[in-house]
Amino acid sequence: MTDRAPAENHAGGQRLTAMHPHQAVNWPALRQDFPILDQQVHGRPLIYFDNAATSQKPRAVLDALVHYYERDNANVHRGIHELSNRATAAFEAARVRAAKFLNARSADEIIFTRGTTEGINLVAAAWGTKFIKRGNKILLTEMEHHSNIVPWQLLAERTGAQLAYLPINGDRGLLEPGRLDEFLTSDVKLLAMTHISNSLGTINPVAEYCERARRRGIVTLIDAAQSAGHGPLDVQQIGCDFLALSAHKMCGPTGFGVLYGRGERLAETPPYQGGGEMILSVDFQQSTWKPAPHRFEAGTPDISGAIALHAAMDYLDGIGRGNIAHHDQELGAYAFEKLSALPGIRLFGPTMGRAGLVSFLLDGVHAHDVVTVADRSGVALRGGHHCNQPLMKRLGVESTARASFYFYNTTAEIDRFVEVIREIQMFFGK
């Protein structure tokens, strides 16, 4: 069941950036910034191709964490002593940095979260509970990650709202912009969609979708988990109301993330969780809240997470996010082309303009067997439903194997990976 890439030009998704990088980057030298990459796994050089699950961390980010805990650690916003002042300044500087990274209008539009999942849950729980009513529709796409489905299902259960899904065009995994209008009905209150699909590598034209939704007064949320750190990201250019990202997929630490919320949306949104940090005053029966963003950050935050994310953003902008997007997409295209030449392989996602990842199935070999054998060759892949069970159902498969790249990966690693895939096919007798 070989599914060769069709040649039509229109099959491509959206590019994150122009084709030609404006400056030369010494990509092999960047590998030296990642201590973890220099090791053998099962006696073979590690080839880390599970970047869509989590990226590795450069020395600069690790150093920032160590420096904070060795020199500045204290609680934020409430102390008067020197260390608390330093920690507070560094924490709020990270907020300003994140606003700049996303081109938000103000640092007050930046909420720190535990990651993309919490960002989406915050919008569903706080904004959604107030504004989504019985009979309203929440519009998603068939390629959403569970984290951009389940929070809306919980909200729909509470409010009596309904979910609707923009369809994809089969294995190529593209939305059909021509069909958007038939889904943007008057009962739709929210459009929540992913920027880049973690299973398909599709890059969605989110600015166009947000613009068309906004014209109808529909609030928009973008899941940027796979795009943040992989290319330029400008919330004003996208025109979304909310955008959520995870630090750990962009060279930062796990358990930390950013939710961008347009100022006017955050102003109308009630608190998410209650506790310290988010209140102005508390009485026995009632309390008053701080304005955004602190209204949404109850409790002592992950201060070191913010500081490490700041370092990660500096690191990525030092390389140039346009350069990273170009390099990632070249790796994705190279892998897609090399794998397309193999017999007995089914490839998913767009043929052109894809992000730096490739999902595939080998005839007669289950994805978990592919991943187990690849691991013994030093190649770290992911196999399974990738938290995309509805999408897998739509594609008529139970799971796929996935190789996902970042700027420290090389075409030589992809050549080795393709060799390993050939060996796996032979091993399982196909």
**Which residues sit at the interface with other proteins, rule CB under 8 A?**
42, 364-369, 372-373, 376-377, 384-385, 389, 392, 398-399, 423, 427-429
For Cα atoms 183, 198, 214, give the angle at the middle one, nearest 5 degrees.
30
Nearest residue (CB) to other proteins, 44 versus 77: 44
In angstroms, give the least distance from the CB of 415 to other proteins.
16
Nearest residue (CB) to other proteins, 216 versus 430: 430
Q: Which residues pair with 223 in a beta bridge?
A: 194, 244
For Cα atoms 321, 331, 48, give the angle at the middle one, nearest 5 degrees.
90
Cβ atoms 315, 10 nearer than 8 A = no
Q: Which residues of 29-64 are buried (b: 16+ CB within 10 A; e: fewer)?
A: ebbebbeebeeeeeeeebbbbbbbbbbbbbeebbeb
Nearest residue (CB) to other proteins, 31 versus 146: 146
Query: What's the sign of the alpha-carbon dihedral 39, 43, 44, 50?
Result: negative
Q: Which residue out of 210, 240, 251, 387 is catalytically annotated? A: 387
Let me know how many helices (H) and strands (E) the chain has, helices first: 15, 17
387 as an active site residue: the answer is yes
Nearest residue (CB) to other proteins, 99 versus 373: 373
In angstroms, give the least distance from the CB of 385 to other proteins.
6
Strand (E) or helix (H) holding 315: helix 303-319
In angstroms, give the least distance from the CB of 182 to other proteins.
33
Nearest residue (CB) to other proteins, 140 versus 373: 373
Q: How many CA atoms lie within 13 A of 69 on its CB side?
A: 9
User: The tokens of 197 are what?
Assistant: 């699909």
In angstroms, give the least distance from the CB of 424 to other proteins.
9
In angstroms, give the least distance from the CB of 399 to other proteins.
4
What residues act catalytically? 387
